[in-house]
Structure 1
């Protein structure tokens, strides 16, 4: 473990430069006899991904988008969502390539290409899997040649992974399959496969289904080691190296099955997963260099929400998750003042056309006795320049504010210590519950859906 961490420290330092060397694990199988590392983007998985991206764009240009299925995760773009989409797209294409009805499938990362590296753990995992450093082999939202609302009508369909229901802009697409580890919202009851199961990582469910189907084929297709290692990475970071409270028997057993096919097959699964978790978790924390705007968009999720209001039938709602306190975020602005936080936030929410925004902050407070206390914050803002006027914005702010303060989840919200400095339609609370986005988002969405 110590040796691994030492090597990882060197790797993490090297990640600050343009040409990042492979990880220790990658070195075991990508170094030549002369000990010179091969460049990124020449592995089988990268080549397949790039070729698939080209084929999709060529077919779109030729008016053949209807032949394709898009596999998509959620718009947060974490390692689990990205890996699940890439894995299932690879499986679909290869499992059917010798059949009478081969499937054309491509993974779509619902983030912009320039935002992918805002998650250092994603960059590290992709580098370890020999993907191109500039993401030429990945299809991202800003590279779609057509608006999703238009494209969704043309596709064979979409497949949701790590995502219980599609964003509004994809609502016209047929949902072919759903594989998710969140709450079943009843979307697409006829989808096949349709898998909802509580596990630490959605990639666990995708990999298990993939292996089950792969092992039932008359002849197995080639499974690149780069993809297997990416799968293990996603499961490792979501399960705390298979040791967190979220870890299930399915996470452990699937990891063993994947490991057995990988270049690390002779290693102990717990040791591999612990090392991967250490490596990726350290990278995940390496975001001090990010400014406020990047922190806001780094883990951003949002969609249109229906309301009963005839004048405003839909409202755009966005959520950011930030691992810093409000006080620390203020210091990251140019003027290091509270007004500048809201100026930067306003510029970002204007860019993405959001009416109501929720920022969920979490951090650890250090006490003099050496103890650490986990603190969370909720920042609520409502704009009046997108879909709603000032009176509507005031009403919507009041509705959501009351819903949060009077929640039925046992969350005791306390006004932030500088709450008296906030302007109209701005509020910040602190709380010590473990409630994150999965708890807060339904409260806000339900309030918006009842707002008139």
Structure 2
């Protein structure tokens, strides 16, 4: 039997309180939409990459919003919205494993995904009560007309929606840490605590474990550690050692995360994709669409996933994907490890930049965008030992690949975004 994303997965009905709540919530939302009552609902949504942290934080806060207000004069209806298409969910095997361990229904039938919305986000955003953003600093452009009620994020604070409440930005390993701490603080202040299903608590521990590398000291803050202890205390595993639990979860999830041998290049580009539109006030300069992909393997290995196993085909398949979703600038961030000796490995990162001219920008604008993005990348102090890829001289027009030993998407994204924003300002001044 094929799953809803085409995978051969036998049907397994979810058991337990989390699955039942999630499925019923999805059903109730669709019934209310049909009855013209979308305005009663709050959407809790993460980023479109749909990683375990983003998904778990959204589920946890939606559950909390509903249950913490259930016996009040102002009960709230809340649902977690995954901004990942249903056919892309299994491109993250670690999510599939975590949801199975949480006893959720197979094929993700308990979850509401972006492609299951009965109306486009631009229309629906004007009807719902509002949105809560988790694991992202602001909503995607398609939700611009929705009221932003709260934001929980562990990335850079861009100053958006200062009136949101709660509004928490904190550099911790996992956004689930921030959501979990707030949830438990509010839960413990209620006159009577609501039931927290063990499946949700264990899913939260899984999300923190994978983002903190099993609570390893170099990757963990005091907040991650303290919140994990509080969650563990309420779970079925409360008699077990926290360190042992988190290390076991991280090992299991990391093993699953690496099960991508059968993925095509298109799958790899889609599985961890983040992007959005950047507006400009200038009539000369169009809106620009930026997209960032993260792939846990080298360009050489990615090329072997293409039909012809050649460099030209990597860029042909990347162009087909970005044309499909209407992206102007793509930054693909690759990472892999090489052995330095028998005991040690060194992490190598690659940045692949492409700019296309057939969507919103003409040839001259595309050339200029490529120029400023290139200058920004090559001038960034954070990108240690940046140098052209060993096959850079084989690349085509508006294509570039670098290797470096610096940070990943959290470092590269603001570098490129600021370059594009400055380019827009430059173009506007040139009018």
Please state which band the TM-score falls in when normalised by the shorter chain: over 0.9
**1:411 shift after superposition:** 3.7
1:160 aligns with 2:151: no
Q: State the Cα deviation string for residues 349-370 of structure 1 (Å, max 9, x = none).
A: 0111000100001111235766
**1: CA distance between counterparts of 2:152 and 2:346?**
35
**2: CA distance between counterparts of 1:391 and 1:187?**
32
Q: Aligned in 2, Cα 1:208/1:300: closer, same or farther, shift over 3 Å? A: same
CA contact (8 A) 2:286 2:360 kept: no
**2: CA distance between counterparts of 1:398 and 1:105?**
45
**1:345 shift after superposition:** 0.4
**1: CA distance between counterparts of 2:15 and 2:34?**
26
**2: CA distance between counterparts of 1:330 and 1:240?**
29
**2: CA distance between counterparts of 1:217 and 1:369?**
55
CA contact (8 A) 1:115 1:298 kept: yes
Show the counterpart of 2:9: 18
CA contact (8 A) 1:374 1:432 kept: yes
CA contact (8 A) 2:383 2:404 kept: no
Select the residue among 159, 162, 174 that pairs with 1:186: 159
**1:412 shift after superposition:** 3.8
1:436 aligns with 2:408: yes
**2: CA distance between counterparts of 1:239 and 1:70?**
27
**2: CA distance between counterparts of 1:436 and 1:233?**
22
Q: What's the TM-score once normalised by structure 2's chain length?
A: 0.94
Show the counterpart of 1:80: 53
Select the residue among 368, 373, 387 that pairs with 1:414: 387
**1:313 shift after superposition:** 3.1
**1:227 shift after superposition:** 0.6
**1:309 shift after superposition:** 4.3
CA contact (8 A) 2:81 2:111 kept: yes
**2: CA distance between counterparts of 1:326 and 1:410?**
18
SS of 2:106's partner is: coil
**1: CA distance between counterparts of 2:383 and 2:392?**
22
Q: State the Cα deviation string for residues 129-153 of structure 1 (Å, max 9, x = none).
A: 0111111110111111111111111
Show the counterpart of 1:239: 212
CA contact (8 A) 1:71 1:161 kept: yes
Mean CA deviation greater in 257-266 or 326-335: 257-266
Q: State the Cα deviation string for residues 391-430 of structure 1 (Å, max 9, x = none).
A: 2211211121122112243544211111111111111111
SS of 1:198's partner is: coil
Show the counterpart of 1:449: 421
**1: CA distance between counterparts of 2:103 and 2:233?**
20
Q: Trace 1:38-117 onto structure 2 (pairs within 5 A).
A: 39-117=12-90
1:313 aligns with 2:286: yes
Q: Trace 1:180-329 onto structure 2 (pairs within 5 A).
A: 180-307=153-280, 309-329=282-302
SS of 1:134's partner is: helix
**1:306 shift after superposition:** 2.5
CA contact (8 A) 1:365 1:375 kept: yes
SS of 1:102's partner is: coil
RMSD: 1.6
CA contact (8 A) 2:58 2:134 kept: yes
Number of equivalent positions:
418
**1:55 shift after superposition:** 0.9
1:383 aligns with 2:374: no
**2: CA distance between counterparts of 1:268 and 1:419?**
50
Q: What's the TM-score once normalised by structure 1's chain length?
A: 0.89
Q: State the Cα deviation string for residues 29-73 of structure 1 (Å, max 9, x = none).
A: xxxxxxxxxx54122111110110111111112211111110011
Show the counterpart of 2:4: none
1:353 aligns with 2:344: no
Structure 1 runs, 4 residues or longer, greater than 6 Å off: none
Task: Extract unaligned runs of 5+ from structure 1.
Answer: 1-15, 21-38
1:337 aligns with 2:310: yes
Q: State the Cα deviation string for residues 222-242 of structure 1 (Å, max 9, x = none).
A: 111111110111111111211
Q: Aligned in 2, Cα 1:98/1:191: closer, same or farther, shift over 3 Å? A: same
CA contact (8 A) 2:279 2:288 kept: yes
